[in-house]
Amino acid sequence: MDTLQIKNILSEFQLGKLAMEEVIDKLRVLPYEDLVYAKIDHHRMMRQGFPEVVYCEGKTVQQVVGIMEHLTGLNRNILATRASCEMFEAVSKIIPDAHYHELPRLITVEREKRAVDEKRFILVLTAGTSDIPVAEEAAVTAEIMGNDVKRVFDVGVAGIHRLFAQHELLEQANVVIVAAGMEGALASVVGGLVAKPVIAIPTSVGYGANFGGLSALLSMLNSCAAGVAVVNIDNGFGAGRLASIINNMR
Amino acid sequence: MDTLQIKNILSEFQLGKLAMEEVIDKLRVLPYEDLVYAKIDHHRMMRQGFPEVVYCEGKTVQQVVGIMEHLTGLNRNILATRASCEMFEAVSKIIPDAHYHELPRLITVEREKRAVDEKRFILVLTAGTSDIPVAEEAAVTAEIMGNDVKRVFDVGVAGIHRLFAQHELLEQANVVIVAAGMEGALASVVGGLVAKPVIAIPTSVGYGANFGGLSALLSMLNSCAAGVAVVNIDNGFGAGRLASIINNMR
Amino acid sequence: MDTLQIKNILSEFQLGKLAMEEVIDKLRVLPYEDLVYAKIDHHRMMRQGFPEVVYCEGKTVQQVVGIMEHLTGLNRNILATRASCEMFEAVSKIIPDAHYHELPRLITVEREKRAVDEKRFILVLTAGTSDIPVAEEAAVTAEIMGNDVKRVFDVGVAGIHRLFAQHELLEQANVVIVAAGMEGALASVVGGLVAKPVIAIPTSVGYGANFGGLSALLSMLNSCAAGVAVVNIDNGFGAGRLASIINNMR
Amino acid sequence: MDTLQIKNILSEFQLGKLAMEEVIDKLRVLPYEDLVYAKIDHHRMMRQGFPEVVYCEGKTVQQVVGIMEHLTGLNRNILATRASCEMFEAVSKIIPDAHYHELPRLITVEREKRAVDEKRFILVLTAGTSDIPVAEEAAVTAEIMGNDVKRVFDVGVAGIHRLFAQHELLEQANVVIVAAGMEGALASVVGGLVAKPVIAIPTSVGYGANFGGLSALLSMLNSCAAGVAVVNIDNGFGAGRLASIINNMR
Amino acid sequence: MDTLQIKNILSEFQLGKLAMEEVIDKLRVLPYEDLVYAKIDHHRMMRQGFPEVVYCEGKTVQQVVGIMEHLTGLNRNILATRASCEMFEAVSKIIPDAHYHELPRLITVEREKRAVDEKRFILVLTAGTSDIPVAEEAAVTAEIMGNDVKRVFDVGVAGIHRLFAQHELLEQANVVIVAAGMEGALASVVGGLVAKPVIAIPTSVGYGANFGGLSALLSMLNSCAAGVAVVNIDNGFGAGRLASIINNMR
Amino acid sequence: MDTLQIKNILSEFQLGKLAMEEVIDKLRVLPYEDLVYAKIDHHRMMRQGFPEVVYCEGKTVQQVVGIMEHLTGLNRNILATRASCEMFEAVSKIIPDAHYHELPRLITVEREKRAVDEKRFILVLTAGTSDIPVAEEAAVTAEIMGNDVKRVFDVGVAGIHRLFAQHELLEQANVVIVAAGMEGALASVVGGLVAKPVIAIPTSVGYGANFGGLSALLSMLNSCAAGVAVVNIDNGFGAGRLASIINNMR
Amino acid sequence: MDTLQIKNILSEFQLGKLAMEEVIDKLRVLPYEDLVYAKIDHHRMMRQGFPEVVYCEGKTVQQVVGIMEHLTGLNRNILATRASCEMFEAVSKIIPDAHYHELPRLITVEREKRAVDEKRFILVLTAGTSDIPVAEEAAVTAEIMGNDVKRVFDVGVAGIHRLFAQHELLEQANVVIVAAGMEGALASVVGGLVAKPVIAIPTSVGYGANFGGLSALLSMLNSCAAGVAVVNIDNGFGAGRLASIINNMR
Amino acid sequence: MDTLQIKNILSEFQLGKLAMEEVIDKLRVLPYEDLVYAKIDHHRMMRQGFPEVVYCEGKTVQQVVGIMEHLTGLNRNILATRASCEMFEAVSKIIPDAHYHELPRLITVEREKRAVDEKRFILVLTAGTSDIPVAEEAAVTAEIMGNDVKRVFDVGVAGIHRLFAQHELLEQANVVIVAAGMEGALASVVGGLVAKPVIAIPTSVGYGANFGGLSALLSMLNSCAAGVAVVNIDNGFGAGRLASIINNMR
């Protein structure tokens, strides 16, 4: 609810079109839709430029379908993360143009292709092949939010020449996302090479003293390279969202 | 065993109705029922105003059925938590009026509707839709213990106007329960808005560095808002029980 | 800012006493005082019934003095926690009636003795002698907020008859606070005996696998007794504040 | 290999019955049987009074069968822990008198009933019903090693009178084993009541901030009652073994 | 308060020497002395055969002095642990025969030399020289409680022949205490050699991934040798106390 | 060493001005200065637009002075972090225009005031007063790298209206830095309000279950608001550096 | 890409066989093969003497097959770790001479038997039978890289004579690998006996406070025996690889 | 005690020069010197080629002096680690040729310069300047054990060209030691470049989520580069010792 809306409400009140109680009500209730089990934040589109994204884990299939249905009513493009195959099948019955990305487990509905500035692209790197699902979550997220994304997979530090061969892409990219598990060293090496925002995603790839991604997480937080920021373990969506915000700054 | 009971025993002893050995016995053995695998604490009804609640996890189906059977013999209302569907089916064969709450996995037997003071209600909030099962465990627990409960789901801080829209309920509530996973910030925000007891339940909703609910737990324990107390991760029952105790204080 | 205040503002606006811009301003800016390094939340007195409490750790002596000075200007009773001796000395120069509680490291200014209902008292228990500083933080907090407090120290479970000797106090108390370090078992035992709110404070008393209070914290969070809620390690203030809120409910 | 055996070897050497190389060999190779995947420590019977106990987890069915077969050849009584149902079935084909204890997942072969001193019994307590499988592992272990064992289940501190009702057993027992999950407070309470060895087994019963038994483990390690020692989480076998050693001291 | 005492009370009641209220009182109040900041458990001498031991950490000098003074009034032998030099000096002013053990930081008062059975001795081993202070806490504790103690220091597994040279002592000892830091392997090796109770004390000796004794603690809890029980990190007192209890069993 | 430099080297080689060995050498050795104890990365200015920043912790005073001396020789503006007072005094003897920022413990040398675009400012928020030193580290870092910075301190969620009063600044800022300790909830609330990059700095402000900043760190990593990235605990420098990179993107 | 290759490129450039752009390209792009989802590091054979090893966990069956197919095209011997049975079946369809090692879950292709120096063998020890799968991963890795390997299983410290019986093998071995779970004490004991490189592999064998191998890991890191180095929990491959490197040093 | 010694003993026995009891004694007691507080393992020189190294932390000054005195009696070269300045001063009074290395806190006595093969050198790398003390502990340890050591400091991945400039040293070295704090990425990068043993030392350099070296430790354990083994945090001695063992293999 922006200042303009407040002005309009007050004007109507001044003109007697609204009673005092109505004004109080309106000032209090910002726009969202209440499904009891979920309050869909339609205001988010205005506030943040993209509708609320549905985090599917822990929701029932019915809840996911219900939320998706209401979101599609008011928005052109929608994203749901961590969706099971079963959820997608139920959603696609009521939203036939929904699309399922199997590896990153995303559901997208894209009815309006956003214009993309190809000179400003986001580069998504992975250290290994096993990090691809998380990287794809980041890449698809950034794409549906209107960004050009380039992917380079499997350039971890055990064979560091594979990374250096990408130096042109590194130099041209506007924002870099690095997804790496195990010791997550790739983020520090990339952060030391470029002067751009580097968003590091620790992945849970690994075993033993990796403790579900903790090793890569701590590694990235302690990066000796400045300019590296970190999101949650396996949080491809968060990295893609932040990269998109930065990439669209002018 | 309260003072009155001790007086009675001593009187009977003084009158010669009880031998010394019998008195010693009675003073030692407070009332509980021994099923070998469980000692049902019938005294708890007297001591705490509600019969022993059955925690089903780790028990066999037969044990749950046995304990429920003995509890129903002496009590009007019973609660069993973390019950599987299979347990409920076995229980319902001998207690046909048992009811299963699927989301929070509770079994209730409610033969005596307790009088409820609707002016004193407990408000149960969740940050997201995925926190609802835990919140329901709290809500149903409080209801069967004789409280009016109002539920408001999905008002997490990512769209904080959804919370502020509930300000009237927040002002009217007697006790507030907040169930939140991920970073659990909702508890602090609510704690900063009201001057009532806020019982925070960290939930295990989330992934990665959430470490099974640890992030929300630490967050809530470190709340900068005074007046917030915390129960175990996903412990809806504990929160509901404590809220009921507080709500019934005069 | 409550509904009444909003009504007044809108009335003045309707009467032409306030311009639209002024109303917008007033609706947005709730009252606080800005010292640059701190924004004193004078609104808190209205919102929560007690002025903002000063957490001194990590603040400079000058900052503590400055905040205390501004708080005393508008409030009768003030509380500052985790204050060093040096801070107190600087404060007492400008607030001569400030009082220092050495063990719990509190500064209090109490100009208005709040009426206390002696029938509704808060009972503060400790497991050992070393837990007394934390318990005193809770007790003094509750006292300055207008509660009668009774203290019973050193009744840990290694000599459990010392606790049972207090059964009358336990039965009469309205709210119970339990401060315990090491294994923190006292909270569970008390929680199993009474049907009142039990607020458990894990203390950092102990060594080795106590890990700075972690053992007592986990112990209390996992209490098998329902009706127990937990605050942060050594957080006497939080427990005292919550106990006061509960104790003043009617 | 005790001093007597060394003397015999040296005597034979002196008498020319053994060559120097043979003596060196014998002094080096203590008796065990080599199955390649396992070296069965037949010497343990002599060294510790009970044959090697088979820890089945992580072994293949074939390995368990092979080890059991060789152990039965030389010993009267055998114990295997953490055995699956499938393992038992395979074992019982070659050792028909093997017995399976379903709850604690033990296989026993008991061909020689050891004499038991009933005046010196081991008391096994649990805090709850869900702790019974671990407690049974301790109890059966102690029984096959020649001890009288008494069991009292479900006497946790949430209803502490259930424990006090057992005071006679507590006074008569020679060694006490306490199995408790959640906050594990029972160990401290028992340790404070008696002056006997208390062996505490933290169990993984619980959820959330119980972290797989960590809460009970830390609780028991930090017990304010002296005379309590702790074994690994869910390690019923270790507790039973130690209790047996202590109980057989004269 | 044992059965005999209860019988006496009831007899006096029957004879009219005690009023009902007095009986109730006596049955409830077990004997302890209340110094407000401490409740001295004089009953412990009867219950556990040794008076309450004073844990000095976190207590003020005045509190330690006060408690020691009251304990000496009723007991012959006293022990205080984790006492600073300053505490000892204050104590020795009122208890001139108090003795300070500098390395283990113990204060002892020993007015009655307990008879010791030299055939039943406790063996205290350390892995290194740096573990000696903890080992001495255990040894002195066991000595004042009436045990013969033998010490063998610096026999860690990096030079395992130093341990094997002690095999006669190992065979003769009744109970073995092992204090070891770093990886704590000595406990497992000893536990594998003997069939006696082995009480393992993890010490905080070490650095880095030793995490304040955690490495030795986990190592000892996971010992592959049965018959090993563990006390808290650096808890020499607890180990000495338990060893004494076991050593005095008949 | 960019493509242009390689081209030049190869041209000189083709022209016979460089021998093959010289080319190999040049291609391998990128420019840095070797002080034995440090290799000053003069190339960083070219690669990342700001000279190497000196992390002083763990270095000797002599080492800091030596590195600073060499850096000033080739650069206009320099930054050293976590510098002690003693280090500054030694540095200022050879670099008289060095400046010490006491709260954030920074040394700056600023000989060339960079042009600043005031329409694109970085907003630095803190939850409390105790978070100011960390926030200042971020702010001064961003300033010396050529950014306009606005500071708003003490707007934590316990009095959330203090934050909402800043909504205009929030709307105008280009990048937002949030420094918060305890439960770190401010980052999520800000992240939910704006559609800009939010860089969250967990601080070690707090006690008990804050575990040196872990609670705020986990909280921020698990933020339910997208668009939030996290740096190391107390890492004001890293946040300031990243904010500067983002703020200077066009 | 070694110096020789650079010289050749530059010579060709000098001779006019290569254009400048081609040289720049060649200098930048070291040889690897790009399958999009994986960049096969064919250079590793030259750099490290063995082709890239395929870590199968987290890869799809198709990805594993694709990578194996490309690797076999250029190499004689190949190794894939943590391969499922299903992966092997798919691989064997296109590489019929692939071999599956079920226990350690390895796929090997061995077309060129490397010459082995039998005087220099690697000794692989396990503490128990359950550690064999990890030990086999190490052993097979070392074998395919051209080493003679001897295995001795189940010589843990609970029956330490089983280890001492192997003293000749210990004396003859060139490198020793120790795989042990639970408390991992075997590594320290072996490290104290020999003056050779001891590579310790903590395994996840155990339960409870073993925390997935953490106990053995910390134990081995804190070994009081010098000359012991540690790899990740269950990382047989890493240990085998390092042992092979050391064993092939001259 | 090697086979030769056993043969000699047995020969003397056969010849009647030794009685049976004497043989048994000799076979049991391997040579060490007993100072009560320490058992000096003189056998270690024979077993491992270097006398016992004195770990000073936790020892008293007197103990260190005593042990050093006895060691110098029988050995030419001695090493003591983690020695305080005060310890050195006391030692130098009785061993005037002792030398103190201030940064790594080592005391060395070197009376016999071991012959060094300069073609086989150990390369010690650090990521930063603050890692030098740990690196020096490794370097000096390797030197006194008879190795040529080369040092290259401050080549961390934030300026990776500084590392690549050392490629000749990397290629020539026989063994590489990498000391790195923060995220410890240098170990992985080096491990990916060379085919030699890489011994990684995580250092405690860093702050916040570095948790005393945990981040570097986990990072190095999870290295994606094979051939990397890890020692304890800050354990320069262990790394130097292992490098020396490997470097002296033929």
Judgement on whether residues C147 and C237 belong to the same structural domain of the protein: yes
Whether residue C114 has pLDDT greater than 90: no
Q: What rounded mean pLDDT belongs to chain C?
A: 89
Whether residue C243 has pLDDT greater than 50: yes
Judgement on whether residues F98 and F131 belong to the same structural domain of the protein: no
- pLDDT, tens digit, for every residue of D162-196? 898 888 899 999 999 999 999 999 999 999 999 89
**Angle (nearest 5°) at CA G189 between G185 and G190:** 115
| CA–CA separation, E54 and E78 (whole Å) | 8
Judgement on whether residues F89 and F134 belong to the same structural domain of the protein: no
Query: Stretch A11-38: mean pLDDT, rounded?
Result: 73
Q: Judge F/C contact: 3 or more CB pairs < 8 A.
A: yes
Read off the DSSP letter of residue D206. -
By the 10 Å C-beta count (0-12 exposed, 13-18 middle, 19+ buried), A60 is classed as: middle
- pLDDT, tens digit, for every residue of F180-215? 999 999 999 999 999 899 999 999 999 999 999 999
Q: Which residues of F touch G20 (CB under 8 A)?
A: 7, 10-11, 14
Determine phi and psi for F53, rounding to 5 degrees: -95, 135
Query: Stretch H118-134: mean pLDDT, rounded?
Result: 95
| Within a domain: C220 | yes
Give the number of other CB atoms < 10 A from CB of residue D12: 14
Domain that holds residue A57: 31-110
Determine the 3-state secondary structure of H74 from DSSP: helix
Is H43 within 8 Å of chain E by CB? yes
Whether residue F1 has pLDDT greater than 50: no
Tokens of F200: 């969250």
Per the CB < 8 Å rule, is G10 touching F3? Answer: no
| CA–CA separation, E120 and E125 (whole Å) | 16
Judgement on whether residues E47 and E159 belong to the same structural domain of the protein: no
Q: Which residues of A touch F47 (CB under 8 A)?
A: 193-195
Among E6, E14, E20, select the one facing B24 at the smallest CB separation. Answer: E6
- Helix ranges restricted to H, C111-166: 132-144, 161-164
Domain boundary among A91, A110, A129: A110
Rounded (10°) angle between helices G20-28 and F3-14: 130
The tally of domains found in chain F comes to: 2
| CA–CA separation, A106 and H65 (whole Å) | 68
Looking at residue D29, its pLDDT comes to 42
Residue ranges of B 63-92 with Cβ closer than 8 A to chain D: 63, 67, 82
Comparing alpha-carbon positions, the chain E residue that sits nearest to B15 is E14
pLDDT along chain B (250 residues), means of 10: 62 79 61 80 73 93 94 87 97 97 96 86 96 98 96 92 88 96 95 94 96 96 93 97 93
Looking at residue D1, its pLDDT comes to 42
| Within a domain: E13 | no
Judgement on whether residues A85 and A156 belong to the same structural domain of the protein: no
Q: Which residues of D touch G158 (CB under 8 A)?
A: 41
Among C11, C13, C27, select the one facing A27 at the smallest CB separation. Answer: C27
Domain boundary among E83, E110, E137: E110
Judgement on whether residues G55 and G94 belong to the same structural domain of the protein: yes
How close, in Å, is residue G54 to chain D by CA atoms?
25
Instruction: Find out whether A131 and A203 touch, Cβ atoms under 8 Å.
Output: yes
Is B7 within 8 Å of chain E by CB? yes
| Within a domain: H85 | yes
Among A160, A185, A191, select the one facing H219 at the smallest CB separation. Answer: A185
Among C49, C232, C239, select the one facing B221 at the smallest CB separation. Answer: C232
Tokens of H13: 């026995």
Among G49, G195, G239, select the one facing H195 at the smallest CB separation. Answer: G49
Residue ranges of G 22-41 with Cβ closer than 8 A to chain A: 28-30, 32, 36-39, 41
Residue C83 vs residue G72, higher pLDDT = C83
Domain boundary among E110, E132, E152: E110
| CA–CA separation, D128 and D131 (whole Å) | 6
- pLDDT, tens digit, for every residue of C16-43? 888 877 776 666 544 677 888 888 876 6
| Within a domain: A224 | yes
Q: Which residues of F touch B128 (CB under 8 A)?
A: 224
Comparing alpha-carbon positions, the chain G residue that sits nearest to A210 is G232
Is E174 within 8 Å of chain D by CB? yes
Residue ranges of chain G with per-residue pLDDT less than 50: 1-2, 29-30
Residue ranges of chain E with per-residue pLDDT less than 50: 1-2, 29-30
Rounded (10°) angle between helices A132-144 and A236-247: 40
Judgement on whether residues G93 and G143 belong to the same structural domain of the protein: no
| CA–CA separation, B129 and F15 (whole Å) | 71
| CA–CA separation, B188 and F222 (whole Å) | 15
Whether residue A5 has pLDDT greater than 80: no
Whether residue F149 has pLDDT greater than 70: yes
Q: Which residues of G touch D44 (CB under 8 A)?
A: 159
- CATH number of the domain residue G224 falls in: 3.40.50.1970
Per the CB < 8 Å rule, is F182 touching B223? Answer: yes
Is G249 within 8 Å of chain F by CB? no
Is E62 within 8 Å of chain D by CB? no
Per the CB < 8 Å rule, is H233 touching E165? Answer: no
Q: Which residues of F touch G30 (CB under 8 A)?
A: none
Share of chain H above pLDDT 70, in %: 92
Looking at residue G26, its pLDDT comes to 65
**Residue whose C-alpha is closest to residue H222's, from H249, H183, H250, H195:** H183
Is B233 within 8 Å of chain D by CB? yes
**Angle (nearest 5°) at CA C241 between C240 and C243:** 65
- Helix ranges restricted to H, C29-131: 43-48, 61-74, 85-94
Is E53 within 8 Å of chain C by CB? no
- pLDDT, tens digit, for every residue of H209-245? 999 999 999 999 999 998 899 999 999 999 999 999 9
Per the CB < 8 Å rule, is C44 touching F208? Answer: no
Judgement on whether residues G136 and G243 belong to the same structural domain of the protein: yes
Q: Measured between alpha carbons, how far is residue E82 from residues E85, E101, E125, E133 in Å?
A: 10, 10, 21, 11
| CA–CA separation, G149 and G138 (whole Å) | 10
**Residue whose C-alpha is closest to residue G30's, from H156, H194, A166, A126:** A166
Is B172 within 8 Å of chain C by CB? no
Judgement on whether residues F137 and F100 belong to the same structural domain of the protein: no
Among E132, E167, E210, select the one facing H37 at the smallest CB separation. Answer: E132
Q: Which residue bears the tokens 């939030």?
A: F228
| Within a domain: E204 | yes
Judgement on whether residues A49 and A75 belong to the same structural domain of the protein: yes
Transcribe E157-198 into DSSP letters.
GGGTHHHHTTHHHHHH-SEEEEEE-TT-HHHHHHHHH-SS-E
| Within a domain: C43 | yes
Looking at residue A165, its pLDDT comes to 83
How close, in Å, is residue E13 to chain D by CA atoms?
23
Judgement on whether residues C96 and C143 belong to the same structural domain of the protein: no
Is E160 within 8 Å of chain B by CB? no
Task: Indicate left, alpha or beta for B125 from its phi (over 0: left) and psi (-120 to 50: alpha).
Answer: beta
Judgement on whether residues G99 and G127 belong to the same structural domain of the protein: no
How close, in Å, is residue F236 to chain B by CA atoms?
21
Query: Stretch A20-42: mean pLDDT, rounded?
Result: 71
Q: Which residues of G touch H57 (CB under 8 A)?
A: none
How close, in Å, is residue F247 to chain C by CA atoms?
25
Among E196, E199, E232, select the one facing D221 at the smallest CB separation. Answer: E232
Looking at residue A48, its pLDDT comes to 77
Q: What is the pTM of this model?
A: 0.91
- pLDDT, tens digit, for every residue of D91-112? 999 999 999 999 999 999 999 8
- pLDDT, tens digit, for every residue of F19-57? 877 776 666 544 677 888 888 876 677 677 788 899 999
Cα dihedral across residues H56, H58, H60, H61: positive or negative: positive
Looking at residue H13, its pLDDT comes to 77
How close, in Å, is residue G167 to chain E by CA atoms?
14
How close, in Å, is residue D193 to chain B by CA atoms?
15
| Within a domain: A116 | no
Instruction: Find out whether H202 and H236 touch, Cβ atoms under 8 Å.
Output: no
| Within a domain: C6 | no
Per the CB < 8 Å rule, is F185 touching B183? Answer: yes
| CA–CA separation, H230 and H50 (whole Å) | 22
Transcribe B176-196 into DSSP letters.
EEEEE-TT-HHHHHHHHH-SS
**Residue whose C-alpha is closest to residue F223's, from B158, A185, D189, A121:** B158
